[in-house]
Chains A and B, each alone.
Chain A
Amino acid sequence: MSSSSGPANLSKEEILRYSRHLIMPEVALEGQQRLKAARVLCIGAGGLGSPVALYLAAAGVGTLGLVDFDVVDYTNLQRQIIHTTGDVGRLKVESAAEKIKAINPFVHVRRFDTMLTSANALEIFRDFDIIADGTDNFATRYLVNDACVLSGKPSVYASVFRFEGQASVFATDGGPCYRCLYPEPPPPGMVPSCAEGGVLGVLPGLLGIIQATEVIKLILGSGETLIGRLLLVDALAMHFREVKLRKNPECPVCGANPTLTELIDYDQFCGTRGEESAAATAVPEIEPEELKRRLDSGEDIFLLDVREPHEYQICNLSGHLIPLGDLPQRVHELDSSREIVAHCKSGARSAKAVEFLRGIGFRYVKNLAGGITAWADRIDQTVPKY
C-alpha cells in the first residue's frame, strides 16, 4: 500500500497499535484514519465519562475533549475508573487526561476545567464533531441537547440510576432529540440523583461502553446506531430492551418550527436554582452545633431519622427510625408535645418530614441542617459519610 493512499497519517507505531482494527474491513485503514481525525467531546469525566474516554482513547480517536469542573472524591472511585485513589482531590480533567495519555499518547486531549453553561457551551462545542453526554443532572442534559441541536452535532446519550440505564443517539439529521423524548424535566426532587439513590458501580461502565461504541460507529459511518431507538438496560434483571423513538414534529428545538433558537437558562427551566436553599429555608432548622450543645446539656430532644433502614445501618445518631415514606402511617409513634429534630442524609428528605409534621399540628419540630453528613463533617468525624 502506498503512503499516498492513506497510511501516511498513521505512523508505524500507530499501525501496530491499531492492528486489530485495521484487519477488520468494517474499520480498516480508512476507518482508523477517520478515528484519528475525529474530535469527540466528553461532557463529564465521571461514571459514564470514564469508560467513554478510556475506550475512545484506546480506539484511537485523535482528539478528546473533557469538560468537568469537579475534583475526584472517594465516593467517585466505586465507578469512575479513570480516577484512582491517589487522584482524590485532583481535578477530574487533569486525572483523566493523565490516564488517557498513559493509554494512548497519540491522543490529543483538550481539558475544560469549567462548568458547562449556556454562555460557553456553543463555543466549547465548536471544535468538536460528536458530543458524548455523561453529565449527572437534568439542567446540563437539556443544555447539552439544545447545544447539540443548535450546532448540528450528534449527542451520544446515556444516563444511569441504581441498576438501570438508558442510551440513545440524539440530535442527528432527521432523528429525535432528548426533548422529543422528554419535553420537560421532572420537578426537582421527584427523581433522585445517583448521590441520593445510589448506582451500581459497573452500570455506568456498561452504559459508557455503549456510548463509546455508538461514537465509534458514528465516526466510521457503519453499523446501525441508536438513532431513533432508546436502549433500556436493567442490570439487576439483565434485560436489554429496545424501543422506537420518533422525532416530535412540534419539538421546540428540533421541530419544524422551532421556538427555542438559542440557549436558555437551564437552571430556571429545570427549577433547580435555589433548590437547596429553598428546601433548607422552607422549614425551621437547627444547626448541628446547636443540636450538639443542647443534647450535651441534657435537653429533652427526640431525634427522628427519616432515612431508609439500610442507610441507618451505615451510620446513625441513635435516632428513632421512621423512613419518610412510612411517616404518615407511623406518625402515632411520635409525641407532638416533645421537641423533635428530624434528620436524613443531607436535609432534603427530613425537610419534607418536618413540613408534613408541622402540617398536621406538630409545633416543636425542626430539621437538622445538612443532615447526618453535616454532623459527620462538623461534630463527629467518626461518623461514616456515604
Chain B
Amino acid sequence: MIRVVLPAHLRTLARVTGEVKLEVEGQVTQRSVLNALETCYPMLRGTIRDHVTQQRRPFVRFFACEEDLSHESPDAPLPDPVANGVEPLLVVGAIAGG
C-alpha cells in the first residue's frame, strides 16, 4: 500500500481527507504512483502533471524521506520506505495565503 499526501486544495478536489492509500502494480515509481492516483481520482488529472506532457507542473513538488524527488526521473524507483508504505510520498503545492 502506497501512501500519498496531497495538498489541501487537491484533497478537496478529490473529496478525500487525510492521506490517500493506493495499490500500485509493479515497480513503485513517481509515474506508477501518479497513474494509480489519477485512476482512482480522475479529477486530479492535469493538476499535478500536465495533461499533455505528463510533466510535473512547476508549482508542485514531490518529496519523500525528507528528500526532494522533484527532479528525479518519473521512472526511477521511489525510496524503499515509500514503496513499503512506511513513509508517504508528499505532493507539495504552492500556497500563498498570509
Contacts and interface: CB of A to CB of B under 8 A. Distances in A.
Interface residues of B, number: 25
B7 A48 contact: no
Interface stretch (B20-28, B32-40, B57-65, B75-83): B57-65
B52 interface: no
B93 A191 contact: yes
Contact of B9 (A133, A161, A246): A161
B98 A244 contact: no
A194 interface: yes
A164 B95 contact: yes
A253 to B, nearest CB: 14
Contact of A197 (B8, B43, B59): B8
A325 B8 contact: no
A241 interface: yes
Interface in B82-98: 90, 92-98
Contacts of A91: none
A159 B97 contact: yes
Nearest to A185: B59
Question: Which interface class (under 10, 10 to 19, 20 to 34, 35 or more) fits A?
Answer: 35 or more
Instruction: Determine which residue in A137, A160, A181, A199 has the highest number of CB atoms from chain B within 10 A of its CB, and name it.
Output: A181
A241 B15 CA distance: 23
A160 B7 CA distance: 12
Interface in B32-54: 43, 47
A197 to B, nearest CB: 7
Given A182-B59, A197-B8, A237-B18, A242 B95 contact: no
A162 interface: yes
25 contacts: A47-B97, A134-B98, A137-B96, A138-B96, A141-B96, A159-B94, A159-B97, A164-B8, A164-B95, A166-B95, A181-B61, A181-B94, A182-B94, A183-B58, A185-B96, A186-B94, A191-B59, A191-B93, A193-B96, A232-B90, A232-B92, A237-B18, A241-B90, A245-B68, A246-B68
Interface of B: 7-9, 12-13, 15, 18, 43, 47, 57-59, 61, 63, 66-68, 90, 92-98
